[in-house]
Each structure stands twice: as C-alpha cells, then as structure tokens.
Amino acid sequence: MAYLFTSESVSEGHPDKVADQISDALIDNFLAFDTESKVACETLVTTGQVVLAGEVKSTTYLDVQKIARDTINKIGYTKGEYMFDGNSCGVLSAIHEQSEDINQGVDRGSKEEQGAGDQGMMFGYATNETENFMPLALDLSHLILQELAELRRENKDITYLRPDSKSQVTIEYDDNNVPQRIEAIVVSTQHDDFDEDEAMLAKIRKDIVDILIPRVISKLPESLQKLFNDDIKYHINPTGKFVIGGPHGDTGLTGRKIIVDTYGGKGAHGGGAFSGKDPSKVDRSAAYATRHIAKNLVAAGVADEVLVQVSYAIGVVEPMGIFIDTYGTCPFNMTDGEIAEKVTQIFDMRPFAIEERLKLRAPIYSETAAYGHMGRKNETVTKTFSQPFGETVTLDVELFTWEKLDYVDQVKTAFGL
C-alpha cells in the first residue's frame, strides 16, 4: 500500500542553525591553530545577544567575539531592523577549561589508544533512492532552502527575503519503497514588511512557485524532475506574515536540529548533536564514520538501504559493537549479523582510527553546520584563519570526507561482489 513520508529542513538563518554555525566556527578556528584542541562549545542566540559556553583544552587563544560576529554577518544578519545583527549584538563568553576527569579517558600515551570522548550510540544511513544516497524528502528540503538563500544573496529576482526560513517535503512511495510523486511542499520564509498583507502573501506564493521551484527542479536529474507536477499542494508562509524572525523571533541553541542534520527521520538517531564538538567526541566522528560505512555498502551493492549502528563507552578504545540493518534489501544470502561481522573487519572504528581515516582534525566543520552534515559534496578548499595577535594560517582542507566512495572496492572484494 502506498504511503507518505515527510522531512524538513531549516535555513542558515534559522536561530538554531545560527547557533550551530557559531559553535562550528569556533571549532574550526581552534583546530586551525592547534589540531589537538579538545572543544565542546554551545551557543545561545536571542534578541541582540549571543552567549558562548563550553569546555576547551587548547594551546591557542582566539577572539571568540569576533568569530561569532563574523559568522552572524556572513549568514546575513547585518541590519539593525532585524533586532539581531553581527555588528551590534552583545557577545558573552563563558568558555572554560575542559574537565581533567573527561580528558584522562581520551588522551593516552599512544594516540592509537585514544578512548571515546563519551558513551552512546551513533547511526549512519544510506539509500539508493538518490544519487548522493540520501533520503529524497530531506534532499529536496535542503535544496529548496539552498536555492532560496542564493536568491536572497543575489537580491535580484526576489528582493524582500530575510535570512530565516524553513521547508518541508512530503513524498508518496509505492509498495516497493520507490518515490512516485511529491504530495506537498511547505516553505516559510522571513521577509521585509509589506504595506498590504494580502498582496504580500500573494506575491511570496507566486515567487516561490514560479521562481524558486523551477530553479530547484533545474538542479535535479531527469528521473527526479518527473516527480514534480501541477497537483503538488503548496503551503507558502501558511501562518501569514513572517517579518519577525531569526534570533529575535525565536531563541536558538546549538544542537537542536539533529534530524535536519542527518537523515530527516529516516534510519535512526542516537541523540547526540554534532556542532561545537571536536572529533574526539564520538557523537560526531562516529556518526560520520557510520554514514561512510553505510554509503559504501549501498554503493557496492550490499543492499539498497542500510542502517549502521556503533556504540561506545567513555574512555574505552574499542566500540561496544556494530549493528547492521539492511531492511531486507540485501540481494544475496547473508544475514545482517554476518554483514556486520565483515564490516568490523573492513573498517577500524577506534576513535583515533576514525579521525585519521576521515581527516577530522582539520578546520572542516563550518560547512557542515547548515543544510545537513550528510549527502554533501566532497571537495578540497582553501581557508584562512587569523589570531588576535596577528598570526595567520592558510590551509587546504578536504570537506565531507565521509561522503567519499573510497571503500567500495574493498567492500566488493570482502563480499565477493
């Protein structure tokens, strides 16, 4: 029987994402000058105010206020009328030294014996329903907001957009879990004030349907373009006026969009947020590692859909175990338990091994903090960082290494494919 599935996304200007981006900008700056930095940094944003809190162990010193302000300005909060802008907001720092009780379980004499930075379970997921092995509803939700942000920055075809926005896409699947059509699209976007509310709503709806959606469709492969039709239900700013937004309209906190950050409700989630955490925190590094495993398994043909779970005890080097669920989509005669056993032989899941394999001790995290940590483009970019006392470093860093299909051949060999 056909069914509907929905995922949502939020823009870089959403208050929770503003907080995530500030936290990850701090991570990047610490790692740029001290690759061994241990950081767990939370951010709160509200009307005219930013609060930074957390624990850090690092040899470098940063101007955290400037980093926060630069991040806010880059997002687009640059006007006093937003009641939150990078040039005038207050920034309070309550960052302090990392607990020695935690650090003793992580730092060891040998890096290979590095313990997990926390206990818990982490999940990775992949499906072959899209080219980047992501769930379609989430992929479309992200793309809608990425294009909306581009339109805002171009300030040409649509000139009234403000940074805060959300999207949601509902997909109809058939009995074989294949996407058939788009049932509904929801877009709520912050905007400048209009003289007449009714004219404003009509204008925004027309621009979203006639300008934004065609741009989104043009970025998709032909097989997915066919899912769009004239019967899609559009809900554009369904509550009406949306002038008050961002941290003035809603307080934002680091780590509150963990489903947006991962798989949009598909697969599973262990509950740990990513942003603001250095890679010794397995909440982050092991979630990336399990995505890497799941994606390579699906790409190699082990299954059409894969969920990978790994779990850790704080301070313990080896994971507690690895669990695999192929949802009955494995095409050959092998149980999920047998697949998990082979995965443990292919992928070293000790925390230090994950850091090395995925090159996680580099300033690569700002790019993850909006529009999802998974399904993104693996590429090398050049980034420059500056300290308060004048030291500047320029680094070539590889982004989204966990999206690489570099283990497909090893997986195929191990499974005889």
Token pair of 145, please? 């907001």
User: Among all chains, which residue has been given the structure tokens 């590692």?
Assistant: 289
* Nearest one of 191, 149, 142, 129 to 168, comparing CA atoms: 142
User: Environment class of residue 363 by beta-carbon count within 10 Å: exposed (0-12), middle (13-18) or buried (19+)?
Assistant: buried
At position 369, the amino acid (one-letter code) is: A
* Nearest one of 375, 337, 180 to 261, comparing CA atoms: 375
At position 342, the amino acid (one-letter code) is: K
* Nearest one of 311, 374, 298 to 339, comparing CA atoms: 298
User: Among all chains, which residue has been given the structure tokens 């065609």?
Assistant: 214
User: Is residue 16 annotated as involved in ligand binding?
Assistant: yes
User: Is residue 325 annotated as involved in ligand binding?
Assistant: no
Given a contact cutoff of 8 angstroms between Cβ atoms, the answer to whether 45 and 22 are in contact is yes
Going by C-beta distance under 8 Å and a sequence separation of 6 or more, which residues neighbour residue 63? 387, 388
At position 143, the amino acid (one-letter code) is: L
> What gap in Å lies between CA 387 and CA 60, rounded to an integer?
8
User: Is residue 164 annotated as involved in ligand binding?
Assistant: yes
* Nearest one of 214, 192, 215, 216 to 204, comparing CA atoms: 192
> What gap in Å lies between CA 281 and CA 364, rounded to an integer?
15
User: Is residue 113 annotated as involved in ligand binding?
Assistant: no
What b/e sequence results for 274-299 when a residue is b if at least 16 CB atoms lie within 10 Å of its CB, and e otherwise? bbbbbbbbbbbbbbbbbbbbbbbbbb
User: Is residue 285 annotated as involved in ligand binding?
Assistant: no
Token pair of 4, please? 């509907």
Residue 324: Cβ within 10 Å count: 25
User: Is residue 278 annotated as involved in ligand binding?
Assistant: no
User: Among all chains, which residue has been given the structure tokens 């995925």?
Assistant: 358
**DSSP for residue 403:** G
Given a contact cutoff of 8 angstroms between Cβ atoms, the answer to whether 397 and 383 are in contact is yes
User: Is residue 281 annotated as involved in ligand binding?
Assistant: yes
User: Is residue 292 annotated as involved in ligand binding?
Assistant: no
* Nearest one of 28, 119, 116, 7 to 74, comparing CA atoms: 28
User: Is residue 379 annotated as involved in ligand binding?
Assistant: no
User: Is residue 241 annotated as involved in ligand binding?
Assistant: yes
User: Is residue 215 annotated as involved in ligand binding?
Assistant: no
Helix (H, G, I), strand (E, B) or coil at 126: strand
User: Is residue 14 annotated as involved in ligand binding?
Assistant: yes
Which residues fall in the annotated binding site for K(+)?
42
Which residues fall in the annotated binding site for L-methionine?
55, 98, 250, 281
Which residues fall in the annotated binding site for ATP?
14, 164-166, 241-242, 250, 256-257, 273, 277
Which residues fall in the annotated binding site?
14, 16, 42, 55, 98, 164-166, 241-242, 250, 256-257, 273, 277, 281
Which residues fall in the annotated binding site for Mg(2+)?
16
